[in-house]
Amino acid sequence: MITTPIVPRVSETDGAGHINNVFVPIWFEAGRREIFRILTPDLDFARWRIALVNMNVDYEAQIFFQQDAEVRTWIERVGTKSFTVGEEIWQSGRRCARGTTVYVYFNYDIQKSEPIPNDIAEGLSRLSPPEL
Amino acid sequence: MITTPIVPRVSETDGAGHINNVFVPIWFEAGRREIFRILTPDLDFARWRIALVNMNVDYEAQIFFQQDAEVRTWIERVGTKSFTVGEEIWQSGRRCARGTTVYVYFNYDIQKSEPIPNDIAEGLSRLSPPEL
Amino acid sequence: MITTPIVPRVSETDGAGHINNVFVPIWFEAGRREIFRILTPDLDFARWRIALVNMNVDYEAQIFFQQDAEVRTWIERVGTKSFTVGEEIWQSGRRCARGTTVYVYFNYDIQKSEPIPNDIAEGLSRLSPPEL
Amino acid sequence: MITTPIVPRVSETDGAGHINNVFVPIWFEAGRREIFRILTPDLDFARWRIALVNMNVDYEAQIFFQQDAEVRTWIERVGTKSFTVGEEIWQSGRRCARGTTVYVYFNYDIQKSEPIPNDIAEGLSRLSPPEL
* Parts of chain A with a pLDDT under 50: none
A21 reaches B (C-beta below 8 A): yes
- Does the pLDDT of residue C132 top 90, yes or no? no
The mean pLDDT of B1-13, rounded to a whole number, is 98
C16 reaches D (C-beta below 8 A): yes
Size of interface A-C (CB pairs under 8 A): 32
The mean pLDDT of D100-106, rounded to a whole number, is 98
What is the sign of the dihedral through the CA atoms of C98, C102, C105 and C108? negative
| Cα–Cα distance, B97 to B100 (Å, whole number) | 11
Residues 6+ apart with CB under 8 A from C129: C1, C74, C75, C76, C86
Q: How far is CA B123 from its chain centroid?
A: 16
| Tens of pLDDT, residues A33-48 | 999 999 999 999 999 9
- How buried is B40 (Cβ within 10 angstroms: 0-12 exposed, 13-18 middle, 19+ buried)? middle
A36 reaches D (C-beta below 8 A): yes
C14 reaches A (C-beta below 8 A): yes
Phi-psi label, residue C92: left if phi above 0, alpha if psi -120 to 50, beta otherwise = left
Q: Give the pLDDT score at B123.
A: 98
Q: pLDDT confidence of D8, banded at 50, 70, 90? A: very high
The mean pLDDT of B72-92, rounded to a whole number, is 98
Cβ neighbours of B64 in C, within 8 Å: none
| Tens of pLDDT, residues C45-72 | 999 999 999 999 999 999 999 999 999 9
Nearest CA to B46 out of C20, A60, A91, C13 is that of C13
Q: Give the pLDDT score at A71.
A: 98
Q: Using the beta-carbon criterion (under 8 Å), do C62 and D51 form an inter-chain contact?
A: yes
Kindly report the CA angle at B16 between D13 and A30, in degrees rounded to 5?
A: 50
Q: Give the pLDDT score at C41.
A: 96
The mean pLDDT of C78-96, rounded to a whole number, is 98
| Tens of pLDDT, residues D57-96 | 999 999 999 999 999 999 999 999 999 999 999 999 999 9
Nearest CA to B89 out of B132, B59, B119, B110 is that of B59
The mean pLDDT of C91-115, rounded to a whole number, is 97
Instruction: Tell me the CA end-to-end span of chain A in Å, nearest whole number.
Output: 12
Q: pLDDT confidence of D38, banded at 50, 70, 90? A: very high
Go through the domains of chain C in sequence order and give each one's CATH number: 2-125 (3.10.129.10)
Q: Give the pLDDT score at C131.
A: 83
CA distances from A62 to A81, A91, B20, B49 (A): 35, 10, 25, 14
Q: pLDDT confidence of B46, banded at 50, 70, 90? A: very high
Coil, strand or helix: which one is C105?
strand
* Phi/psi at D33 (5° precision): -55, -45
| Cα–Cα distance, B78 to B12 (Å, whole number) | 32
The mean pLDDT of B51-77, rounded to a whole number, is 98
| Cα–Cα distance, A61 to C45 (Å, whole number) | 40
- Does the pLDDT of residue D13 top 80, yes or no? yes
Q: Give the pLDDT score at D131.
A: 82
Q: Give the pLDDT score at A104.
A: 98
pTM of this structure? 0.97
Task: State how far residue C57 is from chain D, nearest Cα, in angstroms.
Answer: 5
